[in-house]
Amino acid sequence: MRQQNLYGWYYLENSMIKTRFAPSPTGYLHVGGLRTALYSYLFAKKNKGKFLLRIEDTDRERYVADGVANILKTLYWAGIAPDEGVVMGENGEVDENGENGPYTQSERLPIYREHVQKLLEAGHAYYCFCTTERLTQLREEQTAKKLPTGYDGHCLSENSVEAKKRADGGEKCVVRLKMPKSGETVFTDMIRGEVRFKNGLVDDQVLIKSDGYPTYHFAVVVDDHLMGITHIIRGDEWISSVPKHLQMYKYFDWQAPQMAHLPLLLNPDKSKLSKRQGDVAVEDYIQKGYLPEALVNFVAFLGWNPGTEQEMYSLKELIKDFDLSKVGKAGAVFNIDKLNWFNKQYIKKLSNKELVEVSRPWFDKTGLLKGKDSVDLLEKAVELERERITVLAELPEAIKFIFELPNYTADLLVWKKSTKEEVKNILPELVEFFVKLKSGDWKKEKLATKIGEWITKKGFAVGSVLWPMRAAISGQENSPGPFEIAEVLGKEETCLRLQLAIKKLSN
Ligand code: GLU
């Protein structure tokens, strides 16, 4: 059953809401694609409906072998698992689930053939035998005359019986949609509101190409209908295709789904989001060490806004609060600083153990995780840097000094208001003091108090002690504080590093 509201037709409970994401397997998932998938998923889940994944691979020239597996891996990484369609099997393989398959367009050719036949028989579509040369010449002439480019209907006048004979006989041809040349196509987009197109400006779209494959426009209509899609949510760039699609729904006498066209994603300078100004592949963000929760939260806000102060949203909360009517029409700026902020917030939420766990791929690359002992040490070490990093990929480099003391020169040990001579005197005394400290005192707070007292008693300047201590045990110009590092290293390693510093000073 259906009813009309402000947006046009909408479905009542008895027909389940079904959305879809329909990517082409071109090798990677664009962040804009992730947003489309996320919004489609959220809308379906909020309405207790289903989210379907279909693979649109009819453009054989753009086909990439592992494209489907990559898209699936990325969607599951983000927590967006399809209920129907192309899914990931138990062992991570590409699988299918549902009764409306196959869900990969290249496997549906007989279905398109059958449906285009219906349009041809009803006179809503026609064979076109125009050569590429003729079409190129036509376009050049139209461009020269400053006319809109498009097919001139040359083959429309062909006798349809004759045309069918030629096509059946194997003559190279395409099938085109017969678009009405007058009137308007009007529809109500869930985001843009009422949209109008003059039919006369819409091209007679090719539906079946000369290689026998359907075009996107034909396959998308047939599939959305046969797969029971009730709501199409996709990028703004598809809005100009809607009149062609709606015309096909009319010809087939099918009810068209509701549509929502999402605002463009923009670079900070308001140009269209492009590779030139930063990464656009979700895989790039995964590799850098953005957490899925952070990227999903960030992407959810690219166009949508709950209208409250709340910024941190789990996927569950998004399902509850997401509202298509709150998606704006204006382009959404992809602000990497905001994404970084989200990532830091989500890193904060992790325990040290969880942080080590999620950072494992980056630690594995650096060989920092050798035995169980190093895992324990790692958990302590990440505590030092967890507030300082933005992405997980920075973590191994940031805490490497705990595992391997960097090579440094004696100059690093001298505080700006001190002298090499003074450091030479202080460090041996500091080691002696440490040796006498009880192991129970080897905690950052206690160390701070004890060393503080010792410095006062000795009459040293604080920097003359703490700078060389920190430099000696970190081997770095910048690092976390000396007490935090000393606690993680333990008394023995701290003293060893100080002794090495003393040696460096005497060289
Ligand atoms: N295959 C199209 C794409 O690559 C899908 C467009 C649509 O959602 O209708 O984005």
- Cβ of residue 224 lying under 6 Å from some atom of ligand 1: no
Rounded to an integer, what distance in angstroms lies between the CA atom of residue 160 and that of residue 338? 59
Q: Name the helix (H) or strand (E) containing 19.
A: strand 18-21
Q: How far, rounded to the nearest angstrom, does the alpha carbon of residue 169 sit from its chain's CA centroid?
A: 47
pLDDT of residue 372: 65
Residue 8 pLDDT greater than 90, yes or no = no
Q: Which of 252, 247, 249, 282 is nearest to 265 (CA)?
A: 282
260 CB under 6 A from ligand 1?
no
Q: What is the pLDDT of residues 187-211, one digit of tens each?
A: 999 999 999 999 999 999 999 999 9
Q: How far does residue 24's CA lie from ligand 1's centre (Å)?
A: 7
- Confidence (pLDDT) at 59: 85
Average pLDDT over residues 45-52: 97
Task: With CA atoms as reference, report the closest residue to 489 among 430, 442, 438, 437.
Answer: 442
Annotated active-site residue 275? The verdict is: yes
The average pLDDT across 59-85 equals: 91
* Ligand 1 pocket test target in 220, 233, 265 with most atoms within 8 Å of CB: 220
Q: What percent of the chain has pLDDT over 90?
A: 89
CA of 23 to the centre of ligand 1 (A): 5
Catalytic residue among 165, 181, 275, 349: 275
124-150 pLDDT per residue, tens? 999 999 999 999 999 999 999 999 899
pLDDT at 296: 98
| Beta-ladder partners of 3 | 10
Please give the pLDDT value at position 439: 87
User: Ligand 1 centroid to 21 CA: how many Å?
Assistant: 8
The whole-number pLDDT of residue 368 equals 75
Residue 475 has pLDDT above 70, yes or no: yes
Backbone angles phi, psi at 274, to 5 degrees: -140, 160
pLDDT, the chain, mean: 94
Q: What is the pLDDT of residue 26?
A: 85
Q: What are phi and psi of 263, to 5 degrees?
A: -60, 155
65 compared with 268, residue with greater pLDDT: 268
Q: Average of pLDDT values for 278-300?
A: 96
Q: What's the confidence (pLDDT) of residue 374?
A: 79
